[in-house]
Amino acid sequence: MLAIVWRKLRGAARREGRGETFRAEVERLETEHTFTVGRAMLLRHHAARIGERLRERAIPAEIVKGPVFADRLYAHTSDRTFTDIDLLADPSDLDGIGAALADCGFELHEKVWDNSARYLEYKWFLKGNPNLMVEAQGDLVHYPALRRRLSFGYTQLKAVSPDTEPSPAGMLLVAAIHALGGHKFHRLQFAVDLLQAARHVTDEDALVQAVGRVGAELEVGAALHVTAALFGDGRTAALAARFPAGRRGALGRRLLGVDAVLEAAPRTSRASHLRRHGFRWLQLLD
């Protein structure tokens, strides 16, 4: 969230008359922000190189989240920084993507205890610069147990967003599944992405149809509900109401409340941990 806060407050923060400690903190934040923006610019450069190499090899893949959200959902592109590039592709194409990434100077991150194959998520780092990472993913839902009920890979993405330009429904689904399929809503960034995606939805029926096709009513309803509560946004609340998901949806909204998100970071409270993990167990129910 630093990029948005810094854009809005940097003028006031730089005024004279502040204490030395405050000025030092402002300088630290500015340095961090400059580094983050610079890294995003470098990632865009490498994403263009990788995309060209994949087109040469006729390997279908889509960049999701980071730069796509920044360009399509945010009025100020620099408000949505990102720390890696996410490539979504069919699992059968991940080896070919790996070869293309190697050609572009990236190395596969291999650990002693590696769940990459299980999670269908492979991390590649640029040689000589570990701050630049590409994640090649076969499914935005990382956990195999959850994928038995909910899956969102390249095929599902193109089913709800078939054109070259990403559809509002597709971006909202990516945001919701990223927040609750790959993670447990532990960052406020997820809610901001969802709020911006909801603002771009003009055809609610198309969204309902897309969510139903994927089977993500529980996740989308809960994610939109807590986002609406966090920001007091009536339009997002109205969208959330389109995805009640029955008794399980009602319980999910009780578990994934505002406090569960706000108390997830930087030091997770016990209540937040229990509520967000409780939602994950709810997701595993068929």
Domain ranges of the chain: 1-138, 141-286
> Which stretches of the chain drop beneath a pLDDT of 70?
11-18, 112
pLDDT attached to residue 183? 95
pLDDT attached to residue 2? 72
Q: CA angle, corner 282, sides to 279 and 285, nearest 5? A: 155
Q: What is the DSSP string of 183-231?
A: S-S-SHHHHHHHHHHHHT---HHHHHHHHHHHT-HHHHHHHHHHHHHHH
Closest CA to 282 of 260, 261, 254: 254
Average pLDDT over all residues of the chain: 93
Q: Which CATH architecture has domain 1-138?
A: 2-Layer Sandwich (3.30)
Show Cβ contacts of residue 145 under 8 Å, excluding neighbours closer than 6 positions.
284
Contact predicate 252/279, CB 8 Å: yes
* Whole-prediction pTM: 0.92
Closest CA to 91 of 43, 14, 152, 132: 152
pLDDT attached to residue 29? 81
pLDDT attached to residue 46? 97
Measured distance CA(215)–CA(220) in Å, rounded: 10
Measured distance CA(178)–CA(219) in Å, rounded: 10
pLDDT attached to residue 19? 72
Give the torsion sign (CA, 196, 221, 262, 189).
Answer: negative
Show Cβ contacts of residue 50 under 8 Å, excluding neighbours closer than 6 positions.
85, 87, 100, 101, 104, 134
Measured distance CA(8)–CA(75) in Å, rounded: 13
Tokens 């980071």 -> residue: 66
Measured distance CA(189)–CA(74) in Å, rounded: 13
